[in-house]
Amino acid sequence: MKYLLYHGPSWSPGPVAEALSAEQVELRVAGAAAEIHLDDRPTVYLVDPPTRASVTPQALAGLRDAGISILAIGKTGEQDVPAELPAELLVGFVRSPAPTRELLVSLRAAFRISATARETSRIRAESAARLNELTELAEIGVLLTTEKNLDTLLELILSQARRVTQSDAGSLYIVETDEAGIRRLRFKLSQNDSRPDIPFVEFTIPIDHSSLAGYAATEGEPLVIEDVYMLPPDVEYSFNPSFDERYGYRTKSMLVIPMQNHHGEVIGVLQLINRKRDLAARLLTPEDATRQVIAYSPHTVKIVRALTGQAAVSVENSQLYAAIERLFEGFVRAAVHAIEQRDPATSGHSERVATRTVALAEAVDRSDEPTFRGIEFSREQLRELRYAGLLHDFGKVGVREQVLVKAKKLYEADLDLIRDRAAFLRRSAQWQFERERADYLERHGRDGYDEFLKALTAGHAESLATVERFLKVVLTSNEPTVLTEGDFASLSEFANQTYQDIDGIPQSYLRPHEVRQLSIRKGSLDEGERQEIESHVNHTFDFLSRIPWTKGLSQVPQIAWGHHEKLDGSGYPRRVRAPAIPLQTRMMTISDIYDALTAQDRPYKPAIPTTRALDILGDEVKRGQIDPELFRVFVEARVWE
């Protein structure tokens, strides 16, 4: 039947019945509007006088909105629509008694109006559905383009594709190329609503016609399969039922679509499994699959192809982003290696500072300190902090190597000169001893020689002892100190003591610049050398500022620049105070000082135990030089571990 006519119990089709039957109109009795059921066919509700009492304007409005035409029959003598029937809801009014022809004309017009309303409603529904699909695709596209992590992106692609197609399960393959240049498909992801407990194991399959995914990747075209257990006998590909057999699942309909980039290259394969009538249904038995699973429609294929086009670009971008990250990571590693090659004594320092600074930032995220309430470091900010930590000492490449690796107060060449001087003093003393002994014998012979030799030997021994004491004082003073300790009074004695050089010219045991170097009260550097070392911070900032950092890494130069600044303004290079020192830099300062104190490989000082290092940091907190809240978190979280 093409049409449907509802009428009240008291209305009789009479003479129009034959005409209605010929026009394929099905007649149904409805005593009230609630008894009318929606149908795909054009529908007319004929309201005769006895039925008026059972209908309300609200009910009629609902029928009209559903695309049902409402035609009223008047009472005998009524010339117009009665007041109890809203005229705006009717498509027509037939006077009673109505001629057969007039009634048929009115009914045919009502059916046409209903058909038009139904078609309009269908078109609107389809338009709304298409608009909804386009909106969903646009929203999915935004999600895909903003996600950079490949694993998260793949999860997003598969879950969204399954959602828009109402698929129970699905999997994703990514094309990879091995060292020999052979391309294969790697099984990267699987999702299954009915069996979420199934373990996932990665594996690879060849890109050829033997498998469904391999066939789609080879041909670059989708496979739409209504039932994988009923494949045509002449196809090259086959379905592997081992998964179903192992886990008691029933795979039925399947859509396998290659993911192609804008060059048309296949970079992966999306496999959707078991499209369901009801997305919430679970396929726990073969009967569930039979009842719920339907085939993937051509329109669904179009939607998924559009989605996979977006997904392919996003995956390629993510892979490119990861490649750039690896490239940049390699550059950072090379830069750190360059630093450590110039200053092997600090090998591992940059990595340890970066690791501890990031760990401190993560501890701040977890902290209940009121100061840090609302502070949360994103993955990108932690990455920025790590790069700043790794590169904070890169400016040391601009410092002279002899200053950079200076382990003692004297340079090795200067110490060698002093050793040579001591050797000269020994030889001079020996030569003086032999000359005086020979002169005595020549002048006096053996007379009184024994007494003279005894006194001469004692004086010679004293001269040698002076030389040895001189060398010992130099070697002792040459050792750097960690704190302001040491007594260098003996240096003045030897600075004023002279000997005659080979030309007979008086010379001091210690030259003024040697006394100055050996009198350094802390560490191994004099003021000029210390300023040169401290300049590495500005070199670091200048170097890092030349790198075109991305927006998420733009603060790397600023963070690294201030790692030797102190909150009270006593640091360097700018001597700025707390407000001008970023939180990330304050964290790096603590990590840097701790590592400098506890490092085992510094030639100019012994390593300090953790407890002593924490005490020194605590003293700096008391002096207002480092952040007390950050130091408290550093200690409580045992970041050094």
DSSP assignment of 240-307, as one string? Answer: -THHHHHHT-----EEEEEEE-TTS-EEEEEEEEEEESSTT----SHHHHHHHEEPPPHHHHHHHHHH
For 434, residues 6+ apart whose C-beta sits below 8 A from its C-beta are none
Both tokens of 518, joined, read 């050996």
Both tokens of 604, joined, read 């100019």
For the chain, the first-to-last Cα distance in angstroms comes to: 82
Mean pLDDT of 119-127: 78
Nearest Cα residue to 276 out of 245, 307, 255, 246: 255
Instruction: Tell whether 334 is covered by a domain.
Output: no
Phi and psi of 282, rounded to 5°? -115, 135
Q: Cα–Cα distance between 256 and 279 in angstroms, integer? A: 19
Are 68 and 174 part of one and the same domain?
no
Residue 342 has pLDDT above 80, yes or no: no
Residue 474 has pLDDT above 80, yes or no: yes
Pairing type for strands 204-206 and 167-177 reads unpaired
Instruction: Tell whether 92 is covered by a domain.
Output: yes
Q: What is the pLDDT of residue 483?
A: 41
Q: What is the pLDDT of residue 54?
A: 83
Residue 130 has pLDDT above 70, yes or no: no
Digit-coded pLDDT (tens) for 497-543: 888 888 889 999 999 999 888 888 887 888 888 888 788 889 999 99
Are 357 and 290 part of one and the same domain?
no
Q: Cα–Cα distance between 478 and 472 in angstroms, integer? A: 10
Both tokens of 240, joined, read 């592997």
Q: Cα–Cα distance between 293 and 283 in angstroms, integer? A: 9
* pTM score over 0.75: no
Mean pLDDT of 113-117: 89
From 104, 121, 138, the end of a domain falls on: 121
Are 391 and 421 part of one and the same domain?
no
Mean pLDDT of 470-481: 86
Are 236 and 263 part of one and the same domain?
yes
Q: Are 7 and 36 in contact (CB under 8 A)?
A: no
Q: Is the dihedral of CA 566, 570, 573, 577 positive or negative?
A: positive
Q: Cα–Cα distance between 418 and 205 in angstroms, integer? A: 73
Q: Go through the chain and tell me how many residues it has.
A: 641
Per the structure, the count of domains in the chain is 4
Kindly report the number of other CB atoms within 10 A of residue 493's CB atom: 14
Instruction: Tell whether 126 is covered by a domain.
Output: no
Mean pLDDT of 88-93: 89
Domain of 458, in residue numbers: 412-523
Q: Which of 76-80, 161-165, 167-171, 601-605 holds the top average pLDDT? A: 167-171
Q: What is the pLDDT of residue 558?
A: 95
Are 89 and 238 part of one and the same domain?
no
Q: Cα–Cα distance between 343 and 394 in angstroms, integer? A: 11
Given pLDDT bands bounded at 50, 70 and 90, which one contains residue 482? Answer: very low
DSSP H or E run through 5: strand 3-7
Q: What is the CATH number of the domain that holds 100?
A: 3.40.50.2300
Q: What is the CATH number of the domain that holds 190?
A: 3.30.450.40
Q: Are 617 and 631 in contact (CB under 8 A)?
A: yes
Q: What is the pLDDT of residue 485?
A: 45
Mean pLDDT of 274-290: 91
Instruction: Tell whether 331 is covered by a domain.
Output: no
Are 187 and 300 part of one and the same domain?
yes
Are 348 and 296 part of one and the same domain?
no
Q: Which of 89-98, 165-174, 290-299, 578-587 has the lowest mean pLDDT?
A: 89-98
**Residue indicated by tokens 């201030």:** 562
Instruction: Tell whether 130 is covered by a domain.
Output: no
Q: Cα–Cα distance between 124 and 117 in angstroms, integer? A: 10
Are 631 and 507 part of one and the same domain?
no
Secondary structure class of 424 (helix, strand, coil): helix
Q: Cα–Cα distance between 432 and 426 in angstroms, integer? A: 10
Are 518 and 571 part of one and the same domain?
no
Digit-coded pLDDT (tens) for 55-88: 888 888 888 888 899 998 888 878 888 878 888 8
Q: What is the pLDDT of residue 484?
A: 43
Instruction: Tell whether 129 is covered by a domain.
Output: no
Q: What is the pLDDT of residue 604?
A: 59
Q: What is the pLDDT of residue 583?
A: 94
Instruction: Tell whether 248 is covered by a domain.
Output: yes
The residue ranking higher by pLDDT, 73 or 320, is 73
Mean pLDDT of 220-238: 92
From 87, 121, 155, the end of a domain falls on: 121
From 495, 523, 551, the end of a domain falls on: 523
Digit-coded pLDDT (tens) for 13-40: 888 888 888 888 889 988 888 888 888 8
Mean pLDDT of 119-145: 69
Are 289 and 192 part of one and the same domain?
yes
The residue ranking higher by pLDDT, 188 or 318, is 188
For 362, residues 6+ apart whose C-beta sits below 8 A from its C-beta are 377, 382
For 19, residues 6+ apart whose C-beta sits below 8 A from its C-beta are 100, 104
Mean pLDDT of 611-626: 94
Q: What is the pLDDT of residue 585?
A: 95
Are 266 and 363 part of one and the same domain?
no
CA distances from 629 to 582, 584, 595, 635, 637 (A): 14, 13, 19, 10, 12
Largest CA distance in the chain: 177
Are 288 and 163 part of one and the same domain?
yes
The residue ranking higher by pLDDT, 490 or 294, is 294
Mean pLDDT of 230-250: 91
Q: Cα–Cα distance between 12 and 635 in angstroms, integer? A: 94
For 440, residues 6+ apart whose C-beta sits below 8 A from its C-beta are 449, 452, 456
Burial of 25 (0-12, 13-18, 19+ CB in 10 A): buried
Q: Are 167 and 335 in contact (CB under 8 A)?
A: no
Digit-coded pLDDT (tens) for 412-466: 889 999 999 999 999 999 998 999 889 988 888 888 888 988 998 999 999 999 9
DSSP assignment of 567-630, as one string? Answer: TBS-SSSS--BGGGS-HHHHHHHHHHHHHHHH-S--TTSPPPPHHHHHHHHHHHHHTT-S-HHH
Pairing type for strands 223-225 and 204-206 reads unpaired
Q: What is the pLDDT of residue 381?
A: 93
DSSP assignment of 141-206, as one string? Answer: HHHHHH---HHHHHHHHHHHHHHHHTEEEEEEEEEEE-TTS-EEEEEEEEEESS-TT------EEE
Q: Cα–Cα distance between 609 and 605 in angstroms, integer? A: 13
Instruction: Tell whether 337 is covered by a domain.
Output: no
Residue 189 has pLDDT above 80, yes or no: yes
**Residue indicated by tokens 């029928």:** 63
Buried b or exposed e, range 217-229, using 16+ CB within 10 angstroms: bbeeebbbbeebe
Kindly report the number of other CB atoms within 10 A of residue 598's CB atom: 17
Residue 146 has pLDDT above 70, yes or no: no
One-letter amino acid at 8 equals: G
DSSP assignment of 532-550, as one string? Answer: HHHTHHHHHHHHHHTS---
Nearest Cα residue to 187 out of 202, 208, 170: 202
